Structures are given as C-alpha cells and as structure tokens.
Amino acid sequence: MKRFFRKLFLVCLPFVCYAACIVLIDPSNYFNFSHLFPDTVKTKVANPILPKLLDYARNPVPNIMIGDSRMASLSAADVSRTAGEDFFNFSFGGSSLNEMIDVFWYASSKAHLRHVYIGLNFSHYSDYNFNDRVSIASSLQNNPLLYLTNRTVLTSSWDTLWYSFTGMSSAPGVPNMTKEEFWREQVAMTNRWYGHYVYPSRYSRELHKISAYCKANNIALHFVLLPCHTDLIDGAVQAGLQPKFERYKREIAVLGPTCDYETVNNITSDRNNYLDPLHFNHELGAVLIRAVWSKMPVCSALF
C-alpha cells in the first residue's frame, strides 16, 4: 500500500507543481491570493478579458464603458473625473460586437446599471466580425479547474514570467516598417474586411433587446461612434458600402442617444491625430472624453 501511494504521489507531483505555479503567478488574479508578480506587469502581458470580469464582479459600479481597444484607450479615471461619477472601462482589444453584447449582459447580472456607453465603428457592424472570448472567460470564472488547465492562462503565466525577468514581452512587437507602410497595411486590411461585409441581422436584434431592457430598467444607454481616419470611411464608400454605412448610423441612433464622431471633418482627416487609421492618439482621446462626458448625457462636438 505504501508503494502504491508513493507511486501515486510521484505521478501527481508534476501536476501539483504546475498548479502551484499557476496559483502563484495568477496572471488574471483569479485566486487573488498571491501578489508575487505585480499587477503592473500582469496588465502589460496577460489576456485582459478574464481579469476585467473578475474585477467587475468584485467591485461592480453602475456606470460602464464597452468597446474595443479604441474605447479601452480612454482612461476610466479620466472619464470618472470628467463625468463626476465612477466608471468601469469594460473594453478590450479586438472586441467584436457580439462580445460587447456579452459584456453588457454580464455587467447587468452583477450590478444595477445606470449609464452604459458603447463605443462602435462601422467595422463592428457586420456578421463577419465575430469572436467568442467573453463566454469562454466567463466559463473559466466559474471553474477553477478550467482556469488551471486553460491554454490562454498558461500563455499569460509564461508571458508574466518572461516579462518579469527580461522586461520584454514574448508577444509580437511593433512591426518592422515605417508608419506610412503600417498605415497602408491597416487601410488594406480594413478594405479586405469591407469585401466580406454581411449585414448583422442577429446583432441588430440583440442590440434592440439591450435597448428595450435599458428602457424598462431606467438605464441610460449611449452609443459613441468613435472617430477613425477618413481613409477608412473612403474605403467603405469605394467598396460600395455607403448605403450600409448610412443604414448602420440610422439603426444605432434609434437604439439610444448617439455621439457620432465617425464623420469626415478636419479632425478625422488629419493624420497627426492618429497612431494609425483605426486608433486616435492620446490628445484626441482627451478631447473625446470632454466631448462625451463633460455634459453627460449630452455630447458636444469635437471642435
């Protein structure tokens, strides 16, 4: 019998050591037990979705921002200071519209919401744009065993270790090209997306459900059509999508008060206001925060 338990111990030892390492590194602060690696490191390299779900579940607030990396670039602290109310930024890079919808329902299950701001662009409003990371992260949240064995968690743990000891991320770095070359590549990538555009019937239905829920529960639902460079709007027009682009704006405006900055003007045509065609710089982000939240719920022009 002793020999059996000794063999069992030896067989289980690698798994126990592996689990202990994940618990100690804890890239998403799932167990919130070990702080061997600071949050400043984890936020640089770890997948942001599960940590945001966990953070919000522990400290829910009634005002939230939902979107992709563009909305994520707007500091929740700056928005809270401007609006005079606490906001939680539930945005993360590459978020698709179905993931934003999932985030809304997740947040509504954790708090009685008061103000919801959803940041959109035309590139979101297509059935072709789909990811399913929020539901996967939510399943991890309720199952420690899944968390310990998830590949993304393992990757984030390794990235946390690597960054802590080398100061470098193991993720792909900045492309080895000039800003102009990268700009053209991003425009070309978006133009390819335009070629796959499919009207988002299911997303439209889900957004109407959210709008109806907000009206029934006295939640102020707002949409912010974020500024992108006019090269992208021109690409949609050249792809024959102007009628779809105009329809998207009409349909969003029906759902709730909409701050429309996805337009052609002196600001959106100036490359100095952008890091790339999709992402505005910090200065324009600060202007956007003032325009949207300084007179909440009424939005102002950017200029």
Burial 125-154 (b: 16+ CB within 10 A, else e): bbbebeeebbeebbebbeeeeebbebebbb
**Confidence at 141, pLDDT banded by 50, 70, 90:** confident
| pLDDT value at 170 more than 60 | no
Q: Please, how many CA atoms are within 13 Å of residue 21, restricted to the half-sphere of its CB?
A: 15
Domain extent for 236: 39-143+178-293
Give yes or no for residue 48 having a pLDDT over 70.
yes
84-93 pLDDT, tens digit per residue, is 999 999 999 8
Residue 159 lies in a domain: no
Q: How confident is the model at residue 238 (pLDDT cuts 50, 70, 90)?
A: very high
User: What total of structural domains would you count in the chain?
Assistant: 1
SS3 string of the chain? CHHHHHHHHHHHHHHHHHHHHHHHHCCCCCCCCCCCCCHHHHHHHCCCHHHHHHHHHHCCCCEEEECCHHHHCCCHHHHHHHHCCCCEECCCCCCCHHHHHHHHHHHHHHCCCCEEEEEECHHHCCCCCCCCHHHHHHHHHCCHHHHHHCHHHHHHHHHHHHHHHHCCCCCCCCCCCCHHHHHHHHHHHHHHHHCCCCCCHHHHHHHHHHHHHHHHCCCEEEEEECCCCHHHHHHHHHCCCHHHHHHHHHHHHHHCCEEECCCCCCCCCCHHHECCCCCECHHHHHHHHHHHHCCCCCCCCCC
How much is the pLDDT for 241?
94
pTM of the model: 0.89
In this prediction, residue 6 carries a pLDDT of 62
Answer positive or negative: Cα dihedral of 235, 92, 159, 146: negative
Query: How high is the pLDDT of residue 160?
Result: 81
CATH of the domain at 285: 3.40.50.1110
Model pLDDT for residues 109-126, shown as the tens digit of each residue? 999 999 999 999 998 998
Does 89 reside within a domain? Answer: yes
217 contact partners, CB below 8 Å, separation of at least 6: 112, 113
